[in-house]
Amino acid sequence: MVAAGTVATFLVAGAASLFMAWAIGAGSSGSTPFAPAVGANAISVMRAGFFVGILGLAGAVLQGANVTEAVGRELILNVTISPTAAVVALLTAAILVAIGVFAGYPIATAFTVTGAVVGVGLALGGDPAWSKYGEIAALWAATPFVGGGIAYGTARMLRNERVPERLAVPALAGVVGAILANTEFVLLGPAGEAASLTAVATTRVGDAIPALGTYAVVTLLAALAVAVVLWFDIRADAEAGQRHFLLALGALVAFSAGGSQVGLALGPLLPLLDPYNLPLPAVLLGGGFGLLVGSWTGAPRMIKALSQDYSALGPRRSIAALIPSFAIAQTAVFFGIPVSFNEIIVSAIIGSGFAAGGGDVSGKKMGYTVLAWILSLALAFGLGYGVFTAVDALLG
């Protein structure tokens, strides 16, 4: 009887995790990466939803381990999340995100999941992980200023008539190439680990060249290669080359979203899976599939909201929004910090919008969005703590 009850609870927790993955795919990871590209008329809403699902699945499998481990094991100390607690945390967060999807307002998924997990963890008697909270708070607080600021500066540069666009856009592509050279993928590392192109090159060279020199050379070569390719593309057709760059950026952000957001759905399940010795890539694949289904079924509504309601974006401002979004997303994945893609993208969209005077940016929409972010964190924490306490009392 005990075994049957344990299995039933595990199945409910798994269903809650899939529901959370669907909500994330329909919301933040499914809608935000290609929203600027849709706003610039570089891709249709339905086609964007299709591709973001595939790319999110790939990112979940290839980059999802760090954030998944952080959400599952690093938010609360000295206690293991129980099956009941996992169900409460996941359902609380997923319902809040789903409400945001259907209401047309992007709820910050990382805020809801983090708040819910911390809430149930404290209700279980765990201790706060203050050092981890400091890392999370620092990134969350810096994102609007760093992302929005870089997007603003980039958009201003692209609008400057004294800066030749045929040179500025390839230079920005070079920056993206430099980031890619230092991005970690599980396919490049040894079994169970991830590595970047620069790390692989450093290992191959060994002591022949100082490590810092190898990193610098590989990063520079990657930046030059990407910049030169886009320069030739823009030289052949400026409009088409700009559109290709925009779509490539959207793809990179979608991939990064999968690597970050899958951890929000799967993290609370990790303690439950320990006795089964399931390989983490298999678990990430299941979560990635949930993201894919959410992207295909629910993302178009939020893509429309982000691409049209916040700011009427053109190709230049869309490029300006996606570059810092990609950089911040990969920073979060590297350090294993749960981050909201709604916060990243919306901040960048607003920053690039203000480069044109801010006339197209909806102040009312901005205000409601920020309020929704703050309330989602507080509400998820309160509900997670209160609901689990009540359920635990009833079951006890």
Per-domain residue ranges for the chain? 10-395
pLDDT in tens, 221-249: 999 999 999 999 998 888 888 889 989 99
Rounded CA-CA distance 132/139 in Å is 11
* Per-residue pLDDT at 71: 92
Q: What is the share, in percent, of the chain residues with pLDDT greater than 90?
A: 33
pLDDT in tens, 338-351: 988 778 887 888 88
Least confident of 77-81, 114-118, 207-211, 273-277: 207-211
pLDDT in tens, 75-117: 999 998 888 888 899 888 878 877 776 776 656 788 999 999 9
Note whether 314 and 349 are within 8 A (CB): no
Q: Which residues make Cβ contacts (< 8 Å) with residue 187, sequence separation at least 6?
A: 62
Grade residue 134 by pLDDT with cuts at 50, 70 and 90.
very high
Residue 223 corresponds to which amino acid? A
Rounded CA-CA distance 216/349 in Å is 31
Strand partners, 195: 185
Is pLDDT at 176 greater than 60 in this prediction? yes
Is pLDDT at 387 greater than 70 in this prediction? yes
Higher-confidence position of 7 and 337: 337
- Cα 141 to Cα 22, 29, 213, 293, 328: the distances in Å are 27, 20, 33, 31, 12
Q: Please write down the HEC assignment for all residues of the chain.
A: CHHHHHHHHHHHHHHHHHHHHHHHHHCHHHHCCCHHHHHCCCCCHHHHHHHHHHHHHHHHHHHCHHHHHHHHHCCEECCCCCHHHHHHHHHHHHHHHHHHHHHCCCCCHHHHHHHHHHHHHHHCCCEECHHHHHHHHHHHHHHHHHHHHHHHHHHHHHHCCCCCHHHHHHHHHHHHHHHHHCCCECCCCCCCCCECHHHHHHHHHCCCCCHHHHHHHHHHHHHHHHHHHHHHHHHHCHHHHHHHHHHHHHHHHHHHHHHHHHHHHHHHHHHHHHHHCCCHHHHHHHHHHHHHHHHHHHHHHHHHHHHHHCCCCCHHHHHHHHHHHHHHHHHHHHHCCCCCHHHHHHHHHHHHHHCCCCCCCCHHHHHHHHHHHHHHHHHHHHHHHHHHHHHHHHHC
112 in helix, strand or coil?
helix
Is pLDDT at 278 greater than 60 in this prediction? yes
Residue 195: both structure tokens together: 């590595």
Rounded CA-CA distance 196/157 in Å is 30
In terms of C-beta density within 10 A (0-12 exposed, 13-18 middle, 19 or more buried), how is residue 234 classed? buried
Is pLDDT at 2 greater than 50 in this prediction? no
* Per-residue pLDDT at 1: 42
Q: What is the arithmetic mean of pLDDT over 212-227?
A: 92
Rounded CA-CA distance 122/161 in Å is 56
* Per-residue pLDDT at 245: 93
Helix (H) or strand (E) holding 283: helix 280-304
Mean model confidence pLDDT for the chain: 84
Q: At what angle do helices 165-181 and 211-236 cross, to 10 degrees?
A: 140
Grade residue 70 by pLDDT with cuts at 50, 70 and 90.
very high
51 in helix, strand or coil?
helix
Residue 305: both structure tokens together: 């909201």
Nearest 5°: phi and psi at 126?
A: -75, 170
pLDDT in tens, 297-323: 877 777 776 666 544 567 788 888 889
Rounded CA-CA distance 88/93 in Å is 9
Nearest 5°: phi and psi at 15?
A: -65, -40
* Per-residue pLDDT at 383: 94
